[in-house]
Amino acid sequence: MEKPLEIMKGKPEDFLDLLQQAKKGRLKVFLGFAAGVGKTYQMLKEAQALRSRGVDVVIGYIETHNRPETHAQIQDLEIVPRKKIEYRGVVIEEMDVDGVIARNPQIALVDEVAHTNVPGSRNKRRYQDILQILENGINVICAFNIQHLESLNNLVERTVEIAIRETVPDSLLKQADQVVTVDLAVEDLLDRLRAGKIYSPEKVEWALTNFFQNDHLSALRELALREVAESLERATPALGAKKNQSQHPVKPVRRVMVCIASASPRALVLLRKGSRLAGKLNTHWFAVYVETPQDDPLLIDSKTQRLLMSTLETARELGAEVVRLQSSDPVGSLLEFAMSHGVGDIIIGRSNQPWWKQTLGLSPVHRLINEAMGFDVHVVSYDEDDRK
């Protein structure tokens, strides 16, 4: 199998060197742009190299998709038996998180990170399994594709015209100590697909006319390479600035604030925009919700409460600091918070107030724009594809 290009995030150290310094488990991510580029293959190959150097490596969960080249890389690696869970009369196998923790290896391999676990599992999502393993001091090497990154969900859906239902929060990627982009030329990937090395022959034509279109793959490949380039920028300190700190004052950090409403069905779009902007600026960001008297938990209906709780939980998963304020003047409270917390960029959704209020500048969005002196205000326009 052709060796894919690897791009590293973090110091140019061996992953093994990082393990020597660890108290909490270290995380390494193999990031691809499509099935078949070689993420699992490269992950197993690295595991074999580590094992040859005396490192205790086990397989927590690997999915080879019946690809002979990938399966051959397992060789004699120890596999923690999967946990069998019966659900609606069907027995489903999931990673045994407790089994991995009890085995206590130096490194556990975990594939298919975006996976949603069957009901009855310890955690709802596999990325939560990974976090639990890390908390127990076990290092993890894992793999997933760029289209599953939460903040890119809307962009990817518009690009490939396919809904991506399972996602991985950006906070997991930001937590990684090393990120490797497993890259492959689009033409080579398509050749592998046609040769039956990715899917069985009966699925090849369907794949070529759907996800595996040339322009789709090219766009996803660019996203993957850009994501790791930005991760590298975030991870690399401004050493020159530190050296010259006494001569040149450091510019204050511009934080990002996303404004959340209790009943906004499109808040997820705003959060994804906020996460991407904060990532590019390498800065902290807030998801701020102002509870007005009308939004009192005793007054709003249960559906709105569930939507709000889900929105705030997603914000945390994306890496935001969630802030809840109480005020009868949401605009004033938002601006006061922004001024006191070093916010430079404010993200809000387009107003859904009646046209006459917008014309007179009476909607909260227009008030915020008019009164936000010294801030960059980003008003997000919702496309049909963005509505959730």
Cα separation, 10 vs 226, whole angstroms:
15
List strands edge to edge, sheet with 139-145: 78-79, 57-61, 107-110, 139-145, 27-32, 178-181
Residues 321 and 219 in one domain: no
Q: Distance between CA atoms of 350 and 87, rounded to whole angstroms?
A: 43
Cβ atoms of 50 and 86 closer than 8 Å = no
User: Could you tell me if residue 242 is inside a domain?
Assistant: no
Looking at per-residue pLDDT, the higher value among 229 and 64 belongs to 64
CATH at residue 39: 3.40.50.300
Asked, for residue 228, whether it belongs to a domain, the answer is yes
Q: What pLDDT, in 10s, does the model give residues 297-319?
A: 777 788 888 888 889 888 888 88
Question: Which residue has 């326009």 as its token pair?
Answer: 381
Question: What is the number of domains present in the chain?
Answer: 2
Tokens of 16: 């093994």
Measured distance CA(373)–CA(361) in Å, rounded = 16
Determine, yes or no, domain membership for 364: yes
Domain membership of residue 222 (yes or no) is yes
Is residue 244 domain-resident? no
Find out whether 216 and 234 touch, Cβ atoms under 8 Å.
no
> Can you give the pTM of this predicted structure?
0.70
Give 311-365 pLDDT, tens digit per residue: 988 888 888 889 998 888 999 999 999 988 889 999 998 766 554 444 444 578 8
DSSP secondary structure letters along 148-175: GBGGGHHHHHHHHSS-----B-HHHHHH
- The two three-digit tokens of residue 241, written as one number: 């600035």
Do 27 and 97 sit in the same domain of this protein?
A: yes
175 and 307 in one domain? no
Q: Specify if 142 maps to a domain.
A: yes
Do 228 and 303 lie in one domain? The reply is no
Does residue 183 share a domain with residue 270?
no
Which one is predicted more confidently, 12 or 366?
366
* Residue 334, in any domain of the structure: yes
| CATH number of the domain residue 335 falls in | 3.40.50.620
Q: Considering only residues 109 and 339, tell me which one the structure prediction assigns the higher pLDDT.
A: 109
Pairing of strands 139-145, 27-32: parallel
Q: Are residues 114 and 214 in the same domain?
A: yes
Any domain includes 8: no
Q: Domain containing 95: what range?
A: 15-234
Q: What is the per-residue pLDDT across 280-302, written as a single tens digit (0 to 9) for each?
A: 887 889 999 998 888 877 777 88
Residues near 274 by beta carbon (within 8 Å), at least 6 away in sequence: 256, 257, 258, 285, 287, 318, 320, 347
**pLDDT given at position 254:** 82
* Statement to judge: residues 32 and 181 lie in one domain: yes
Q: Domain end: 234, 266, 299, which one?
A: 234
d(Cα 182, Cα 146) in Å, to the nearest integer?
A: 11
